[in-house]
Amino acid sequence: MSLEREEPNYFGAGPALLPTKVLQQAAKDLIDYQGIGLGIGEISHRSGDATDVIESAKANLRKLMNIPATHEVFFMQGGGTTGFSSLATNLTAAHVGRTGSKGTAGYLITGSWSAKALEEAERLGVDCEALFNAKDFNNGKFGAIPPESAWADKIKSKDYSYVYLCENETVHGVEWPQLPKALTESSIEIVADLSSDILSREIDVSKYGVIMAGAQKNIGLAGLTLYIVKKSILQDISAAPLDQLRKLGVPITPVAFEYPTVVKNNSAYNTIPIFTLHVIDLVLRHILEKGGIPAQQKENELKAQLLYETLDKYPDFFNLPVAKDCRSKMNVVFTLKKEGLDKDFLQGAADRKLTGLKGHRSVGGFRASIYNAVSIDSTKLLVQYIEDFASKNA
């Protein structure tokens, strides 16, 4: 069987496109990893070879993101939804360990994923609240981020254990252009979901308490999530006795998802899917070879510019529901103003081998996810199709 393939023009939101050369190497390693006679998915997660994969992925991530020595890197099974619960319980425990109080978790709701994160914290019984819901500032719909002046004073009103935000809302196409000053200039721990924009642009990791990113959108296969966490938070979690957490009514984190336990065991407390992590590491190496995040960011900005400029050329034909100051560079969402053409748009795209463009079932319309692995050439093909479809049907 050949490992060659025609380069796909795939814009799915996740699981998403991966570089062909990464998949080709992964396919070879799945059969025989570095000549040891076993595939990468067959080796023990505590073997020397597996440890090398873990250490390599951590080192390459540190290099790409310039992660300071104040922060630890680790990997856990699951995805963003698993992260919603582990973040809530671990960060609440950390606040107990640091202050003796469980505090209140604050959530900035800019789309469905941050909303789901808050719902999970509430379901677990963590004391939490929305600092704002963007729908309240945008006629009942997601698509804009309210000004800091509308909510910044609230974070001074009580003892917040952490504040959570989703930097890129995959469904609604909303992206924080930068961290809000109200948070970076406070002492509150910033907890961020970067599943859709991890490694897409340069960020200052030192400003974050915890970064979580599910792999399947921008850096690998489904099944693993990477975490970058302040070492002081790990110490605070360990300083919170279980009997104190129970007395305060704080949910106890399952041991396989307790951050200090995972870090102490180098991400291998339980059986880490080492093949999945190896794919992540291959992606990290691929980005390094391209010139790192600065080079990748330049590509991503060009792709987003090409796509948005084309859609904006036809304001009577395309509707772009997201405010220009917070449009996602990873997930471009749009609808047609003319009824009855949605199926034609998707079919015409498929005829040109442009796939993965159907919008999320909760919002409809269309979504072009232009993650790191989507090439400029693929984006140009999509832009040309949009031009042709609008010209023909306007």
CATH number, domain of 352, equals: 3.90.1150.10
pLDDT of amino acid 363 = 87
Select from 287, 306, 338 the last residue of a domain.
287
In a domain, 339, yes or no: yes
> In this predicted structure, what is the pLDDT of residue 380?
98
The CATH number linked to 129 is 3.40.640.10
Residues 278 and 326 in one domain: no
Nearest to 279 by CA among 2, 23, 4, 38: 23
Q: How far apart are CA 128 and CA 148, in angstroms?
A: 20
Regarding whether 295 and 277 lie in a shared domain, the answer is no
Q: What is the DSSP string of 344-375?
A: HHHHHHHHTTEE--BPPTTT-SEEEE--TTS-
Domain span including residue 66: 48-287
Catalytic residues: 113, 193, 217
Domain boundary among 287, 302, 334: 287
Query: How many distinct structural domains can be found in the chain?
Result: 2
H and E: helices and strands count for the chain: 12, 14
Residues 337 and 263 in one domain: no
- Residues of the chain scoring pLDDT < 50: none
Joined together, the tokens standing for residue 343 give 């199926």
Examine the fold and report which residue of 287, 310, 337 is the final residue of a domain before the chain moves on: 287
Q: What pLDDT, in 10s, does the model give residues 16-69? A: 999 999 999 999 999 999 999 999 999 998 899 999 999 999 999 999 999 999
Check residue 107 and give its pLDDT. Answer: 98
pLDDT at 394 (0 to 100): 81
pLDDT recorded at residue 98: 98
Q: ∠ CA 220-224-228 to the nearest 5 degrees?
A: 95
- Do the domain assignments include residue 19? no
Beta strand pairing status for 210-214 and 9-10? Answer: unpaired
